[in-house]
A and B are shown apart, each in its own frame.
Chain A
């Protein structure tokens, strides 16, 4: 069943991968990453990776709609923010630790996605994108004017009563866990009937509906699932920053960056967003650290342009095209 649906798509057949070896290597890499704090590197590196893990979570969860279903959302930050605000309010009003309220934060984000998604997902293409952007702008304005969530002042989190080293290590492991969970779920979706349905939907939504796929429900499911993970990541990340405010959390540049990372890496598979997030973050970090100011930004922009010109379909596709025998 799955193979026949995939035949409808115009992708090159995936080369057979020795899954057990790949799995072993992945596990080793994960163990290395997870044990990093034990090596006591300068805490900066943990912070840098926390930021990267965040973008991996955001980009992977975005890709359910953006890559597989082909619905480019510019409002992913809304769900990130809802998660963050849930944990912040939870801490300020109920004194609850964000580690407990992050999952409810994700659930609330998912619920909002369900409500908002129902009408908005009926739109297609650019109209969906601009509606998601409008939604983001409206939410930002609402939060800016809502005193309960701190309005334009923002909300503070109480600092964890542990040393900074422990603080960073804890956030590191938790964000790594979230990034891992998100990536695994997205990978699972990609290989499931659900994912196949989404990809078919992307290829031709009308045809998909004709062969009996409940496109409306599939889209909504993907939207809710992606939003849940964005909210989950947001709930923890806000705590890490110790302060959130609408201009920080609803920043449209974050939405654009997620887009860049997904597409840059290649949005057709689960490995693309991961690669895109890691590579773009590292590249930006390297350039800005060692060069600085306007020149580093110009270089960063040039790299984006050049890489897009030479790899117009993203890195993953580019590499695959080079490897598969033609």
Chain B
């Protein structure tokens, strides 16, 4: 028999108000394992995201012609 939650949404909300803040090592991890734990790492990844957006836009333009 599968376990079921033992509280209502209101009780869950109240309990979670006391959750601890996350730790500094809890950061975004990319599919290839890179961790975005510094401004430099984030900026490098954002450049890759922009390149992907440009490819998607180009593909969309080609598909529309």
* Pair from one complex: no
Q: Using a CB–CB distance below 8 Å, which chain B residues touch chain A?
A: none
